[in-house]
Amino acid sequence: MTSREQLSSERLAESVVLVTGGTGSFGETAVIRALQGGAAEVRVFSRDELKQDLMRQKLSDARLKFYIGDTRDPSCFGDAFQGVDYVFHAAAMKQVPSGEFFPLEIVKTNVLGSSNVILESKRQGVRAVVCLSTDKAVYPINAMGMSKALMEKVAQAHSRDGISDTKIVVTRYGNVMASRGSVIPRFISQIKSGEPLTVTDPNMTRFLMTLPESMDLVEHAFTQGHQGDLLVRKAPAATIGQLAEALKLIFDSEVPVKIIGARHGEKLFESLMSSEESAVAEDQGDYFRVPTDYRDLRYEAFFDEGGLVLSDVHAYTSHNTTRLTDEKLVAVLEQLPLVEEEKRTWDK
């Protein structure tokens, strides 16, 4: 066990962990990781009672407690935050297309809901809150990304109050492979039904990481993050065209690829750090740490005084990160539990 893992286990042992959005892909993985880390109690706060019941049956652990509620409405927090040591805030609206039609709904959940969670955590004396963000928050062009960018600003503003001892850290992710609603499950479903793989643009690149890797970032944030930090895990990338061809190879399929064009709000590539963030980022090996701006409400520090030296540093994007080879991508995909299960149960 590494020193980081030992520190993580020591922190989790006998602690109370709350996961908002705990029945989603990120949330469930965080719940399982906390249980495995020896937490005394793990609380799931979410809206869907059916998903909660399915999780209750699936995990069957007496340390697991469920709370029904919506982060938009702090009056329903009740006892959920009392006595909590660590909060992982994963509750969010994440679908880009729906956000373009209902931007105010995304703001209510991703921005106001996040602020509610942080304020309640501070009121209850929670030790640390880790908020989940996305690469779409960097140079955002869609409502979902814009809401996550504003969520980050809200979290960092709360971290600068100088009053609360609650540590607030933001983690930023790229695409998590095989997570609910992502492209890999859709491609597999199309392959198994003999339909063409609908690819938006084969040249699009996306960061790729596994759910366990995403949870490593959460643990790093809880144990190593400083107040107001933005933490990013380094990740390789692949094109969407590569991804489609790799899955066809794994499932020995000859279904055609149908290029449908980019959807509203999509980019050719994503960024995990802007060029401005890259200029001040600290390289921590597998991670980047972007410290928050600790200037206070003396407005001259914003309007009259400089300080930041702008240099020719590039953004950290899915176009300039390490690119997975076709062979490596196939190897990574074959190790995903979803791909293993779908391949094992598929009767061609």
Q: Please give the average per-residue pLDDT across 104-133, as a whole number.
A: 97
pLDDT in tens, 52-102: 999 999 999 999 999 999 999 999 998 999 999 999 999 999 988 899 999
Q: Please give the average per-residue pLDDT across 110-117, as a whole number.
A: 98
Query: What pLDDT, on the 0 to 100 scale, is given for residue 2?
Result: 40
- CA 146 – CA 150 distance, rounded (Å): 6
- CA 9 – CA 170 distance, rounded (Å): 21
Nearest to 36 by CA among 55, 64, 57: 64
Query: What pLDDT, on the 0 to 100 scale, is given for residue 7?
Result: 38
Query: What pLDDT, on the 0 to 100 scale, is given for residue 126?
Result: 96
pLDDT in tens, 232-264: 999 999 999 999 999 999 999 999 999 999 877
Mean confidence (pLDDT) of the chain: 90
**Is the per-residue pLDDT at 181 higher than 80?**
no
Query: What pLDDT, on the 0 to 100 scale, is given for residue 125?
Result: 96
Q: Please give the average per-residue pLDDT across 316-328, as a whole number.
A: 95
Q: Please give the average per-residue pLDDT across 5-34, as a whole number.
A: 82
Reported as a pLDDT band with limits 50, 70 and 90, residue 312 is low
Reported as a pLDDT band with limits 50, 70 and 90, residue 131 is very high
- Which residues are annotated as catalytic? 136
Q: Please give the average per-residue pLDDT across 124-137, as a whole number.
A: 96
Of residues 298 and 130, the one with the higher pLDDT is: 130
Nearest to 177 by CA among 337, 345, 326, 344: 337
Q: Please give the average per-residue pLDDT across 134-152, as a whole number.
A: 96
**Is the per-residue pLDDT at 182 higher than 90?**
no
Give the domains, in start order, of the chain with CATH numbers.
3-174+209-235+272-298 (3.40.50.720)
Contact, 290 vs 280, CB < 8 A? yes
Reported as a pLDDT band with limits 50, 70 and 90, residue 3 is very low
State the DSSP string of 284-347: -SSEEEE------S-THHHHT-----------EETTTSPBPPHHHHHHHHHTSHHHHHHHHH--
Query: What pLDDT, on the 0 to 100 scale, is given for residue 264?
Result: 76
- CA 120 – CA 17 distance, rounded (Å): 14
3-state class (DSSP) for residue 198: strand
Query: What pLDDT, on the 0 to 100 scale, is given for residue 10?
Result: 53
Task: Report the relative pairing of strands 282-283 and 287-290 from DSSP bridges.
Answer: antiparallel
Query: What pLDDT, on the 0 to 100 scale, is given for residue 248?
Result: 96
Of residues 263 and 207, the one with the higher pLDDT is: 207
The count of residues in the chain is 348
**Is the per-residue pLDDT at 110 higher than 80?**
yes
**Is the per-residue pLDDT at 274 higher than 60?**
yes
Contact, 288 vs 282, CB < 8 A? yes
Query: What pLDDT, on the 0 to 100 scale, is given for residue 1?
Result: 35
**Is the per-residue pLDDT at 295 higher than 70?**
no
**Is the per-residue pLDDT at 9 higher than 60?**
no
Reported as a pLDDT band with limits 50, 70 and 90, residue 4 is very low
Which of 195-199, 260-264, 337-341 has the least mean pLDDT? 260-264
